[in-house]
Every structure is written in structure tokens, then in C-alpha cells.
């Protein structure tokens, strides 16, 4: 491509009136090896444009964002809370059950002991009654 | 819209989205985050996508807006810190080697342009969109685009000639 043409295109380029096709022609020219010495600064420019276009996004895009996991975290937390409350209630229930059983046993035992005590107390009463009888007769005798 | 169908419509321009985000946000990591965020937004609104004639233009506009929002929020909080962070990422050995490469001069020149010019250069000279597409994308008239583009191209050219003549790199 002749130089005059390129210079004309460059003029248009600077005034932003070139089309994409014309800009591509300029790009092709400046990416080739034989560039006129007085236009060398453009070589850098167009070189930069074409290398920049090759830059790629290398990471993979995640459509499920981190924010979503917060929702799941709260669901999990509420489940854990529910389970802990339920099991805590259950354990508490067990404890009261056992306590009641123990209390009943203790009641039975103490009832037994009380009855034993009362039986023995009655025996003592009989003895005391005899003693009273003895005292009466001694009083009769010694009057 | 199924996932496969969705991917088929939106994946072809993922690199364009990424490059635009990188042009505006500078940092590669930020650009990757922006791309990820954008695709997530598209996925959430997949039912509405059918209403748009040109999904690519819609996505690019969303990217542009998202990046500007990001920049604004950064500027509001702590611009200097963030800015030094960006620089920090790039001052590796590779970056120093690249600086010798004159191609990166162009990168820095575009970097220093006003945001609108940066955008137009990215969309036209790198992505090679037609003027009517850029019109739709940026929601400004073709004449305004041409004026901005012309200004940007002339600035870059002047700077390049300056550096070329004085041999400053």
C-alpha cells in the first residue's frame, strides 16, 4: 500500500472518521515490517491495540455466588438450633423421669422404716403400760 | 433460561468485559472480581435478559457503570492507599522489564487519559465496536464519541512523538 494513502488514512484516523475496515488496514500496515521511519510511533500504538485484544479472562465464572451460602448457613444454623433444643428437652425429660422414680423408691423405703419404727414404738408402749401397772400395785402395797 | 443457554449467550463477550474492567480499574484482581460480579448479576436477572435486543451492549454498559461505582467508592474512602496498592502489584520484575518495552508506554498513556476518553479508546481501538454500538453502550451521541475519540487519539499521538523524539522512556 502506498505511503500517501496511509498518511491520508492516518489523518482520518486522528479525526475519528475512519471505519473499522480502514482502521484494520492501518493496523495491518503498522504490524508489517516495512513501516516508513517518520511514522514509527504509530507502530507502537497499533501493536499495543492488537496485543491488548488478546488478553483473556482466565478464571472460571461462578454463577452461584458466596452470598447464596449465607442463606444456607442460616438454614443450617436453625436446624442445629432445633436439634439441640429438642435433644436438650429430651434429656431434661429423662432426668425428671429418673428423679421421679428415685423419689418414689425413697418414699417407699422411708414408709417401711417409719412403719418399723412405729411397730417398735408400740412394743415400747406395751412395756410402759406394764410398768404403769407395776407402779399402781406398788403404790397399793406401800400405802 | 437454562444455564447452558445462558452461558451460550453471555460467554462470548467475557473477555471484552474483563478487558474493559481492567482498563478502568487497572488492577487485574479487581477486574476479575468485577467480571465475576457482573456475570453473577446477569445470572440473577436472566429472566429479563430476553427483553434486551443487544445483551452484549447491555453487559458492557453494566460493566462500565459497575467500574465507575467501584472507583467512586474507592475515591470516597481512601484513594491514596488504594492507588499505591495498585502500583504495588505491578512493580514486580516483570513490570520493570515491560517498562523497557515501548508497548507499555501506550498503556500508561491511555491510563492517564480522562475516563471517558479511556472508555472510547478501549471500545473502539481495542474492541473495535462500531460507532452505533458505542452510542448504545455509552448512551452518548456519535458526534460526541467522535470528538472524544479524536481528542484521545491526538493526545496519545503527541505524547508518543514527544517520547520518540527525546528518547524518554
C-alpha cell at B57: 451492549
Query: Does residue A91 sit at the B interface (CB-CB below 8 Å)?
Result: no
Q: Please tell me whether residues A87 and A136 are part of one structural domain.
A: yes
In a domain, A69, yes or no: no
Can you name the CATH fold of B1-90? Answer: Rna Polymerase Sigma Factor; Chain: A (1.10.1740)
Residues of chain B contacting A48 with CB distance shorter than 8 Å: 103, 106-107
Q: Please tell me whether residues A40 and A8 are part of one structural domain.
A: yes
Q: What are the DSSP calls for B62-119, one per residue?
A: HHHHHHHHHHHHHHHHHHHHHHHHHHHHH-SHHHHHHHHSTHHHHHHHHHTS-HHHHH
Q: Please tell me whether residues A81 and A141 are part of one structural domain.
A: yes
Q: State residue A122 phi and psi, 5-degree precision.
A: -65, -40
Average pLDDT over residues A7-15: 90
Span B92-169: which CATH code?
Answer: 1.10.10.10
In a domain, A12, yes or no: yes
Say what the pTM is: 0.65
Query: How many domains, chain A?
Result: 2
- What integer best gives the mean pLDDT of chain B? 81
Query: Is the Cβ pair B128, A20 closer than 8 Å?
Result: yes
> CB of B164 within 8 A of CB of A40?
yes
Q: Please tell me whether residues A36 and A84 are part of one structural domain.
A: no
Q: What are the DSSP calls for A2-45, one per residue?
A: -HHHHHHHHHHHHTT---HHHHHHHHHHHHSS---GGGHHHHHH
Q: Please tell me whether residues A85 and A143 are part of one structural domain.
A: yes
In a domain, A64, yes or no: no
**ipTM of the complex, rounded to two decimals:** 0.76
- Domain around A128: 76-143
- Residue A138's Cβ-count burial label (10 Å; 0-12, 13-18, 19+) is exposed
pLDDT of B74 strictly over 90: no
3-state secondary structure of A1: coil
Average pLDDT over residues A14-39: 88
In a domain, A85, yes or no: yes
- What is the domain partition of chain B in residue ranges? 1-90, 92-169
Q: Please tell me whether residues A139 and A96 are part of one structural domain.
A: yes
Q: What are the DSSP calls for A35-92, one per residue?
A: --GGGHHHHHHHHHHHHHTT----SPPPSS-HHHHHHHHHHHHHHHHHHHHHHHHHHH
Q: Please tell me whether residues A42 and A96 are part of one structural domain.
A: no
Query: Is the Cβ pair B153, A16 closer than 8 Å?
Result: yes
In a domain, A66, yes or no: no
Residues of chain A contacting B15 with CB distance shorter than 8 Å: 55-57
Report the percent of chain A where pLDDT is more than 70. Answer: 96
**Among A36, A52, A68, where does a domain finish?**
A52
Q: Please tell me whether residues A141 and A88 are part of one structural domain.
A: yes
pLDDT of B78 strictly over 60: no
The predicted-structure confidence for A46-71, as pLDDT tens digits, reads as follows 888 888 888 888 888 777 655 567 78
Residue numbers of A between 1 and 30 with CB closer than 8 Å to B: 13-17, 20, 23-24
In a domain, A63, yes or no: no
The predicted-structure confidence for B97-138, as pLDDT tens digits, reads as follows 554 566 678 888 898 899 899 999 999 999 999 998 899 888
Report the percent of chain B where pLDDT is more than 90. Answer: 25
Amino acid at each position: 500500500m502506498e505511503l500517501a494513502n496511509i498518511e491520508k488514512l492516518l489523518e482520518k484516523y486522528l479525526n475519528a472518521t475512519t471505519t473499522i475496515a480502514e482502521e484494520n488496514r492501518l493496523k495491518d500496515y503498522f504490524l508489517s515490517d516495512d513501516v516508513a521511519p517518520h511514522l514509527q510511533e504509530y507502530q507502537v500504538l497499533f501493536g499495543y491495540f492488537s496485543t491488548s485484544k488478546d488478553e483473556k479472562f482466565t478464571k472460571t465464572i461462578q454463577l452461584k455466588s458466596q452470598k447464596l451460602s449465607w442463606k444456607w448457613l442460616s438454614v443450617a444454623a436453625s436446624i442445629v438450633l432445633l436439634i439441640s433444643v429438642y435433644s436438650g428437652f429430651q434429656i431434661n425429660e429423662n432426668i425428671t423421669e429418673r428423679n421421679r422414680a428415685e423419689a418414689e423408691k425413697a418414699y417407699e423405703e422411708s414408709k417401711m422404716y417409719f412403719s418399723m419404727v412405729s411397730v417398735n414404738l408400740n412394743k415400747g408402749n406395751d412395756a410402759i403400760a406394764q410398768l404403769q401397772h407395776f407402779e399402781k400395785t406398788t403404790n397399793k402395797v406401800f400405802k | 433460561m437454562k444455564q447452558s443457554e445462558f452461558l451460550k449467550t453471555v460467554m462470548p463477550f467475557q473477555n471484552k468485559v474483563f478487558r474493559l474492567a481492567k482498563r478502568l480499574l487497572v488492577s487485574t484482581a479487581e477486574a476479575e472480581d468485577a467480571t465475576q460480579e457482573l456475570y453473577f448479576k446477569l445470572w440473577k436477572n436472566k429472566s429479563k435478559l430476553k427483553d434486551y435486543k443487544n445483551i452484549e451492549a447491555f453487559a458492557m454498559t453494566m460493566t462500565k457503570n459497575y467500574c465507575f461505582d467501584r472507583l467512586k467508592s474507592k475515591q470516597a474512602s481512601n484513594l491514596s492507599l488504594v492507588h499505591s496498592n495498585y502500583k504495588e502489584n505491578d512493580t514486580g520484575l516483570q513490570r520493570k522489564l515491560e517498562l523497557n518495552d515501548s508497548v507499555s508506554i501506550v498503556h500508561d498513556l491511555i491510563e492517564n487519559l480522562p475516563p471517558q476518553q479511556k472508555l472510547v479508546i478501549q471500545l473502539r481501538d481495542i474492541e473495535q465496536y462500531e460507532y452505533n454500538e458505542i452510542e448504545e453502550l455509552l448512551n452518548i451521541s456519535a458526534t460526541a464519541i467522535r470528538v472524544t475519540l479524536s481528542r484521545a487519539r491526538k493526545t496519545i499521538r503527541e505524547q508518543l512523538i514527544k517520547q520518540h523524539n527525546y528518547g524518554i522512556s
